[in-house]
């Protein structure tokens, strides 16, 4: 700490602080335009000028000058005020004063500072700029006429997002912010640039002319898409969510969001939302009353194990807990599951056998605290973009070594110093085993590793996974495997990340154990910046596991339930929020099962392909309309409260389940809070939590680890015969499950499925970008557009899984790698 | 632009040989701060930086395409359009201005039909006004590539154009 004087007040500040930070810490506000706490100091706008006595009273920028012992700083002398006024006058010289039609008005730093410094006239005069406004994309509007050249957009796009879409173009008075060759913006549309823009140069187009900033009510919430658990501020007016607002102090991510979080909110107020219960009469779904619908459903929830349930892990913990309780106590069935079963197997089977807990021991906060990252699949960026930002910042600012094991390259492999090992599809577990084998061979294990249960068995099982043997099947050289083993084991702190989800069937219990073995063998667990983080797919995937909403004690898992529907063992299927017709493997089989089952109840927000097959459809509520808790992938339990009032004709899943429990003769809970109290009392790690102490930033449920080494079986590598290609599926950046199809933002940017292939394969099949091609496997064929990119290795194609129009499950039966042929 | 026109435009675009760029990149790939030398060498080879070369350099050097464009537009030394074989520069600095540079500029405009920083369609001439060529004693001054023409007159403009129009393009 250093001692200094700010505006005649004796204060202290950390050694590393700048004058701006020291002042802020001590309650002195210095105006800024170009500074953001998340970005590196830049010093472009000269608004933060202060006087430092030791510097002969010169005016120096507070945001770039570090504090020193005994500094005497004055932040608002008459001279300083005069200088700031002049800066504003100069900025307003070119800035159009179109505030009445600017969406930024009310939230505009330039407007606020102009007001604060009473700049009511300008001594200068100049022509305004006449830059063309970039309307080329549906999400972000760029009006360079309003730009003050603070560079925040270009810097955040580089420093945090790592995309680099924007930059300074030209020189001197002609300088502007733009994209390469003056093109329109064509990026991943996370909107980070919008969030930091101090003026109205970058605006969210979906929000244009929707509401004045000051008329919005700000409602804090938690994003309903992936498992990262990002915090959101929803801008609400007239009971409608109109936009997401930026709050730099929100969450571990400082308000940073991805395209889904920022632009995917429209599904909440979509006019496609279901607003009435529907019951199938004479083959058609007809509107009915809640009483009719619930009575019909309750009458079919009898017969014990002939009733089965599938729920989406986007439900709250309270709803999942209640659902499970209803199934066990009131229905008498243990057949319930979520996410196609295998999507959570890494946690429920893999981690629980290897680590003694069905949760990840590391948290997202460890990403920036580690020395070395081992990331399985470059898709990690696409499934969890905000964790991707953390990786990017760690690699660029803290020099974290990044190693990637993946079947394709991606944005992560472009980070400085990234070491990407591209393996043949489906061989990731074998590669992880080979790394473990190499760690043993090179004697790089932690001192206590040999005393951990399972060591001898693992050593024996790994004998087949010599780096040389795996090199042959995986396509990664033995030397690379040995090097990565050495780097990983010798790093003081190392963290492994891998995504799981319905589109990653290979990321199962075997991968989880293979990864856990590396962690345990090298003793990289239980320390800050160490361990493993399994990145779960949906907003409450970890919660669903914690609540135990999966097949246990002889209950059937998702895929078994569907088979049982087909053979008649299951007579009633209760689906809450899942859309298996599109997202589960082998679509034809799912449809046959749903056709065959006697009675299908679907609780949904939208008329999905699954809901369309139901006998009763119940309209439910989104995350913005209910109270409850979500557990993020790193087991942070966060509280959400309704941001808007729900439609009177809809019920939350909590209300639906409560009503059904009453109808089944049970005792319905009084409120989500009472259910959470029960959860806190019965769930390991949740003890002591309550809605009150979760209000701010939530709380981590600790994970207690009992390590055990478990030999994991590697699937045999799949090699496509000549003339065929290996197809892998996955999540694309803009989407999450099938829900994001109802978010206008994601659909504007990525409206349909595509098949991504390498340039060489494209040339071989004479396919060019956007050609309509037919991809066929042994189970069927689909037609989709081609996308030719440099990131795909030869012989491998990639198809994302989210889309109802062209569901990949027409050609995919749930195997990690599918052999396909492709024709134009 | 209709598809047919776009097709035609694409056909007229000269084919760029990226292997030249690859050779340059290979030479500098391991050097830190290699973007400027690569761009300079590429401009020496191609005469300007074609779009596809910029994109190729971005991909190979793992630099954002936007960043390359930022560099290309910041420095006056880089050109984004093909340049003529003969670069005509007319000084419009103070000394040349008072000695009649505006008339010389106008005459060039009239005779070769292109304005400042433009290039004739046959890629013979590129015309540029420059602030000062550092030889005010010879005002008004013009240069064609490395040859200097002092005491310019309207007549001399004709002579220069006639002279360089006769020279072979290849």
Cβ contact, residue pair A181, B51, below 8 Å: yes
Q: Are residues A360 and A407 in the same domain?
A: yes
Q: What is the C-alpha separation between A623 and A639, in angstroms, rounded?
A: 11
Which of A480, A504, A537 delimits the end of a domain? A537
Nearest Cα of chain A lies from the Cα of B73 at a distance, in angstroms, of 5
Q: Tens of pLDDT along A667-677?
A: 999 999 999 99
Q: Are residues A443 and A473 in the same domain?
A: yes
Q: Tens of pLDDT along A553-593?
A: 899 999 999 999 999 999 999 999 999 999 999 999 999 99
Q: pLDDT band at residue B13, thresholds of 50, 70 and 90?
A: low
How high is the pLDDT of residue A409? 93
Q: Best mutation site among A158, A165, A181, A412 for testing chain B: the one with the most B CBs within 10 Å?
A: A181
Q: Are residues B119 and B146 in the same domain?
A: yes
Q: Are residues A304 and A355 in the same domain?
A: no
Q: pLDDT band at residue B1, thresholds of 50, 70 and 90?
A: very low
SS3 A26: coil
Q: Tens of pLDDT along A634-669?
A: 999 999 999 999 999 999 999 999 999 999 999 999
Cβ contact, residue pair B69, A164, below 8 Å: no
User: What ipTM describes this predicted complex?
Assistant: 0.88
Determine phi and psi for A698, rounding to 5 degrees.
Answer: 70, -165
Residue B27 lies in a domain: yes
Cross-chain CB nearest to B67 (options A167, A171, A414)? A167
Q: pLDDT band at residue B2, thresholds of 50, 70 and 90?
A: very low
Using CA coordinates, name the residue in chain A closest to B66: A180
Who contacts A271 (Cβ-Cβ below 8 Å, separation ≥6)? none
Using CA coordinates, name the residue in chain B closest to A165: B66
Cβ contact, residue pair B69, A167, below 8 Å: yes
pLDDT over 70, % of chain A: 100
pLDDT over 90, % of chain B: 70
Residue B5 lies in a domain: no
Query: Does B51 reach chain A within 8 Å, measured CB to CB?
Result: yes
Residue B2 lies in a domain: no
Residues of B in contact with A164 (CB under 8 A): 64-67
How high is the pLDDT of residue B12? 54
Question: Tokens 């996410």 label which residue?
Answer: A339
Q: Are residues A35 and A48 in the same domain?
A: yes
Q: Is A394 exposed, middle or buried (0-12, 13-18, 19+ CB in 10 A)?
A: buried
Which of B74, B95, B123 delimits the end of a domain? B74
Q: What is the C-alpha separation between A490 and A374, in angstroms, rounded?
A: 13
When the pLDDT of each residue in chain A is averaged and rounded to a whole number, the result is: 94
**Region A78-88 average pLDDT:** 95
Cross-chain CB nearest to B66 (options A164, A171, A790)? A164
Query: Does B68 reach chain A within 8 Å, measured CB to CB?
Result: yes
DSSP string, A394-425: HHHHH--EEEEEESS--GGGGSTT-EEEE--T
Q: What is the CATH number of the domain that holds A18?
A: 3.10.20.740
Residue A115 lies in a domain: no
Residues of B in contact with A171 (CB under 8 A): 73-74
Q: Tens of pLDDT along B18-65?
A: 999 999 999 999 998 999 999 999 999 998 999 999 999 999 999 999
Q: Tens of pLDDT along A230-274?
A: 999 999 999 999 999 999 999 999 999 999 999 999 999 999 999
**Region A140-159 average pLDDT:** 95
| Residue A178 C-alpha from the chain's centroid | 28
pTM over cut 0.90: yes
Residue B150 lies in a domain: yes
Q: Are A320 and A543 in contact (CB under 8 A)?
A: yes
**A513-551 as b/e, with b when 16 or more CB fall inside 10 Å?**
bbbbbbbbbbbbbebebbbbbbbbbbbbbbbbbbbbbbb
Who contacts A250 (Cβ-Cβ below 8 Å, separation ≥6)? A220, A231, A232, A233
Q: Are residues A251 and A291 in the same domain?
A: no
Q: Are residues A323 and A205 in the same domain?
A: no
Q: Are residues B96 and B122 in the same domain?
A: yes
Residue A108 lies in a domain: no
Q: Are residues B65 and B132 in the same domain?
A: no
Using CA coordinates, name the residue in chain B closest to A181: B69
**Region A183-205 average pLDDT:** 94
Give CA separation, A113 vs A258, A320, A417, in Å: 29, 49, 42
Using CA coordinates, name the residue in chain B closest to A169: B70
Q: What is the C-alpha separation between A75 and A7, in angstroms, rounded?
A: 6
Nearest Cα of chain A lies from the Cα of B95 at a distance, in angstroms, of 25
Q: Are residues B121 and B151 in the same domain?
A: yes
Query: Does B146 reach chain A within 8 Å, measured CB to CB?
Result: no
pLDDT over 60 (residue B5): no
Which residue range(s) make up the domain with B158? Answer: 86-166
Q: Are residues A386 and A512 in the same domain?
A: yes
DSSP string, A571-610: -EEEEES--HHHHSS-HHHHHHHHHHSSEEEEEESS--TT
**Region A16-25 average pLDDT:** 95
Q: Are residues A392 and A526 in the same domain?
A: yes
Q: Are A413 and A381 in contact (CB under 8 A)?
A: no
Which of A656, A686, A716 delimits the end of a domain? A686
Cβ contact, residue pair B69, A179, below 8 Å: yes
Q: What is the C-alpha separation between A635 and A702, in angstroms, rounded?
A: 8
| Chain A residue set in contact with B, beta carbons under 8 Å | 154, 158, 163-171, 178-181, 414, 790
Give CA separation, A350 vs A377, A435, A532, B87, in Å: 18, 18, 12, 70
Which of A509, A537, A565 delimits the end of a domain? A537
Q: Tens of pLDDT along A324-362?
A: 999 999 999 999 999 989 999 999 999 999 999 999 999
Q: Are residues B91 and B145 in the same domain?
A: yes
SS3 A269: helix
Query: Does B54 reach chain A within 8 Å, measured CB to CB?
Result: yes
Domain count within chain B: 2
Query: Does B109 reach chain A within 8 Å, measured CB to CB?
Result: no
Residue B97 lies in a domain: yes
pLDDT over 60 (residue A2): yes
Nearest Cα of chain B lies from the Cα of A167 at a distance, in angstroms, of 6
SS3 A298: helix
Cβ contact, residue pair A414, B62, below 8 Å: yes
Residue A9 lies in a domain: yes
Q: Best mutation site among A144, A151, A180, A412 for testing chain B: the one with the most B CBs within 10 Å?
A: A180
Q: What is the C-alpha separation between A538 and A525, in angstroms, rounded?
A: 25
Instruction: Give 3-state DSSP helix, strand, coil % of chain B, rounded to 5.
Output: 50, 10, 35
Residue A91 lies in a domain: no
Cβ contact, residue pair A168, B74, below 8 Å: yes
Cβ contact, residue pair A170, B74, below 8 Å: yes
Residue A394 lies in a domain: yes
Nearest Cα of chain A lies from the Cα of B72 at a distance, in angstroms, of 8
Using CA coordinates, name the residue in chain A closest to B81: A181
Q: pLDDT band at residue A196, thresholds of 50, 70 and 90?
A: very high
Chain A, chain B: beta-carbon pairs less than 8 Å apart: 43
Q: Are residues A70 and A163 in the same domain?
A: no
Q: Are B124 and B164 in contact (CB under 8 A)?
A: yes
How high is the pLDDT of residue B4? 47
Q: Are residues A494 and A357 in the same domain?
A: yes
Q: Are B79 and B40 in contact (CB under 8 A)?
A: no
Nearest Cα of chain B lies from the Cα of A587 at a distance, in angstroms, of 39
Residue B132 lies in a domain: yes
**Sheet strands side by side (includes A699-700):** A628-631, A636-640, A699-700
Residue B37 lies in a domain: yes
Half-sphere exposure of A54 (CA within 13 A, CB side): 11
Query: Does B65 reach chain A within 8 Å, measured CB to CB?
Result: yes
Cβ contact, residue pair A164, B74, below 8 Å: no
Cβ contact, residue pair A169, B51, below 8 Å: no
Cross-chain CB nearest to A167 (options B54, B62, B66)? B66
Question: Tokens 């590393």 label which residue?
Answer: A16
Nearest Cα of chain B lies from the Cα of A192 at a distance, in angstroms, of 17
Using CA coordinates, name the residue in chain A closest to B73: A170
Residue A770 lies in a domain: yes
Q: Tens of pLDDT along A399-434?
A: 999 999 999 999 999 999 999 999 999 999 999 999
Q: Are residues B23 and B91 in the same domain?
A: no
Q: Are residues A255 and A355 in the same domain?
A: no
Residues of A in contact with B52 (CB under 8 A): none
Nearest Cα of chain A lies from the Cα of B67 at a distance, in angstroms, of 6
Cβ contact, residue pair A181, B59, below 8 Å: no
Q: What is the C-alpha separation between A566 and A814, in angstroms, rounded?
A: 18
Q: Which two tokens stand for residue A25?
A: 């810490």
Q: Which two tokens stand for residue A331?
A: 């229905």
Q: Are residues A525 and A390 in the same domain?
A: yes
Neighbours of A128 (CB within 10 A): 13
Q: Are A252 and A364 in contact (CB under 8 A)?
A: yes
Residue A102 lies in a domain: no
Using CA coordinates, name the residue in chain A closest to B61: A414
Using CA coordinates, name the residue in chain B closest to A417: B62
Q: Are residues B64 and B94 in the same domain?
A: no
Q: pLDDT band at residue B14, thresholds of 50, 70 and 90?
A: low
Cross-chain CB nearest to B65 (options A170, A180, A414)? A180
Cβ contact, residue pair B54, A180, below 8 Å: yes
Using CA coordinates, name the residue in chain A closest to B74: A170
Cβ contact, residue pair A170, B64, below 8 Å: no
Who contacts B155 (Cβ-Cβ below 8 Å, separation ≥6)? none
Q: What is the CATH number of the domain that holds B122?
A: 3.40.30.10
Domain count within chain A: 5
Which residue range(s) make up the domain with A233? Answer: 124-266
Residue A101 lies in a domain: no
How high is the pLDDT of residue A495? 96
Determine phi and psi for A553, rounding to 5 degrees.
Answer: 50, 50
pLDDT over 60 (residue B6): no
Cβ contact, residue pair A165, B64, below 8 Å: yes
Q: Best mutation site among A167, A177, A768, A788 for testing chain B: the one with the most B CBs within 10 Å?
A: A167
Nearest Cα of chain B lies from the Cα of A416 at a distance, in angstroms, of 9
Who contacts B166 (Cβ-Cβ below 8 Å, separation ≥6)? none
Residue B121 lies in a domain: yes
How high is the pLDDT of residue B8? 47
């Amino acid at each position: 700490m250093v001692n200094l004087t700010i505006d005649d007040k004796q204060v202290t500040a950390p050694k590393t602080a700048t004058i701006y930070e020291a002042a802020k810490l001590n309650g002195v506000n210095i105006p800024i335009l170009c500074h953001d706490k998340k970005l590196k100091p830049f010093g472009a706008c000269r608004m933060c000028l202060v006087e430092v006595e030791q510097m002969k009273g010169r005016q120096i920028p507070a945001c770039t000058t570090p504090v020193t012992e005994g500094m005497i700083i004055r932040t608002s002398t008459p001279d300083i005020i005069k200088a700031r006024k002049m800066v504003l006058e100069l900025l307003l010289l070119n800035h159009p004063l179109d505030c009445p039609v600017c969406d930024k008005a009310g939230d505009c730093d330039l407007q606020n500072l102009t007001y604060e410094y009473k700049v009511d006239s300008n001594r200068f005069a100049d022509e305004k700029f006449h830059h063309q406004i970039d309307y080329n994309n549906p999400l972000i509007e760029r009006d360079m006429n309003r730009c003050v050249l603070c560079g925040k957009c270009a810097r955040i796009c580089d420093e945090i997002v790592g995309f680099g879409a924007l930059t300074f173009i030209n020189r001197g008075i002609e300088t502007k912010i733009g994209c390469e060759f003056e093109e329109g913006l064509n990026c991943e549309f996370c909107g980070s640039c919008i969030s930091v823009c101090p003026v109205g140069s970058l605006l969210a187009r979906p929000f244009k002319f929707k509401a004045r900033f000051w008329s919005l009510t700000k409602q804090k919430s938690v994003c309903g898409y992936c498992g990262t658990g990002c915090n959101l501020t929803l801008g609400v007016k007239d009971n409608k969510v109109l936009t997401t607002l930026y709050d730099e102090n929100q969450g571990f991510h400082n308000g940073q969001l991805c395209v889904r979080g920022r632009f995917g909110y429209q599904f909440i107020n979509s006019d496609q939302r279901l607003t009435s219960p529907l019951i199938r009469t004479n083959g058609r779904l007809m509107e009915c009353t809640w009483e009719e619908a619930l009575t019909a459903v309750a009458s079919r929830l009898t017969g014990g194990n002939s009733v089965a349930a599938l729920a989406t892990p986007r439900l709250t913990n309270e709803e999942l807990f209640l659902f499970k309780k209803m199934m066990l106590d009131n229905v008498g069935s243990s057949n319930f599951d979520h996410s196609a079963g295998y999507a959570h197997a890494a946690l429920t089977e893999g981690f629980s056998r290897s680590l003694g807990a069905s949760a990840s021991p590391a948290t997202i906060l460890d990403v920036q605290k580690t020395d070395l990252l081992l990331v399985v699949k470059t898709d990690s960026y696409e499934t969890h973009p905000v964790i991707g930002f953390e990786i990017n910042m760690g690699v660029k600012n803290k020099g974290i070594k990044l190693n990637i094991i993946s079947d394709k390259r991606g944005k992560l492999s472009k980070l400085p110093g990234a070491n990407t090992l591209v393996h043949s599809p489906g061989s990731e577990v074998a590669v992880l085993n080979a790394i473990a084998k190499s760690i043993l061979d090179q004697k790089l294990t932690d001192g206590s590793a040999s005393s951990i249960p399972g060591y001898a068995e693992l050593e024996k099982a790994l004998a087949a996974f010599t780096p040389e043997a795996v090199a042959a099947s995986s396509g990664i050289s033995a030397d690379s495997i040995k090097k990565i083993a050495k780097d990983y084991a010798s790093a003081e702190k190392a963290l492994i990340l891998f995504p799981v989800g319905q589109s990653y069937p290979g990321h199962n219990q075997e991968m989880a154990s293979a990864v856990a073995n590396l962690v345990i063998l090298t003793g990289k667990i239980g320390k800050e910046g160490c361990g493993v983080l399994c990145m779960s797919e949906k907003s409450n995937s970890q919660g669903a596991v914690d609540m135990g909403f999966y097949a246990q004690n002889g209950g059937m898992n998702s895929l078994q339930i569907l088979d049982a529907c087909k053979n008649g063992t299951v007579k009633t299927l209760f689906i809450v929020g899942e859309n298996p017709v599109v997202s589960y493997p082998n679509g034809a089989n799912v449809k046959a099962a749903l056709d065959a089952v006697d009675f299908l109840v679907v609780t949904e927000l939208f008329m999905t392909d699954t809901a369309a097959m139901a006998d009763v459809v119940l309209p439910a509520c989104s995350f913005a309309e209910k109270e409850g808790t979500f557990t993020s992938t790193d087991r942070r339990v966060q509280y959400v409260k309704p941001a808007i009032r729900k439609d009177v004709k809809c019920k939350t899943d909590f209300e639906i389940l409560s009503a059904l429990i009453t109808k089944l003769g049970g005792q319905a809970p009084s409120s989500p809070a009472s259910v959470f109290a029960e959860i806190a009392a019965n769930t390991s790690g949740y003890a002591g939590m309550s809605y009150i102490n979760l209000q701010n930033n939530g709380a981590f449920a600790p994970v207690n680890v009992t390590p055990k080494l478990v030999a994991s079986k590697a699937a045999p590598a799949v090699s496509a015969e000549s003339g065929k290609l290996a197809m892998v599926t996955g999540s694309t950046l803009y989407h999450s499950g099938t829900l994001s199809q109802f978010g206008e933002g994601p659909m504007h940017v990525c409206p349909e499925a595509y098949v991504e292939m390498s340039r060489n394969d494209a040339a071989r099949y004479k396919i060019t970008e956007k050609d309509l091609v037919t991809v066929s496997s042994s189970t069927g064929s689909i037609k989709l557009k081609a996308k030719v990119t440099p990131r795909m290795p030869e012989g491998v194609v990639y198809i994302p899984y989210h889309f109802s129009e062209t569901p990949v499950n027409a050609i995919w039966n749930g195997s990690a790698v599918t052999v396909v042929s492709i024709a134009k | 632009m209709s598809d047919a026109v776009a097709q035609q435009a694409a056909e007229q675009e000269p084919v760029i040989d990226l292997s030249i760029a690859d050779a340059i990149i290979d030479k500098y790939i391991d050097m830190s701060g290699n973007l400027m030398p690569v761009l300079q060498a590429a401009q020496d080879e191609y005469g300007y930086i074609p779009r596809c070369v910029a994109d190729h350099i971005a991909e190979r050097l793992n630099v954002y395409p936007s960043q390359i464009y930022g560099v290309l537009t910041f420095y006056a030394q880089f050109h984004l359009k093909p340049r003529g074989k003969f670069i005509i520069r007319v000084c419009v600095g103070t000394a040349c201005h008072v000695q009649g540079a505006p008339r010389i500029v106008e005459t060039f405009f009239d005779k070769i039909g292109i304005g400042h920083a433009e290039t004739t369609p046959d890629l013979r001439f590129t015309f540029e006004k420059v602030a000062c060529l550092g030889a005010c004693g010879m005002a008004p001054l013009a240069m064609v590539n490395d040859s200097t023409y002092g005491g310019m007159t309207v007549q001399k403009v004709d002579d220069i154009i006639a002279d360089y129009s006769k020279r072979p393009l290849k």
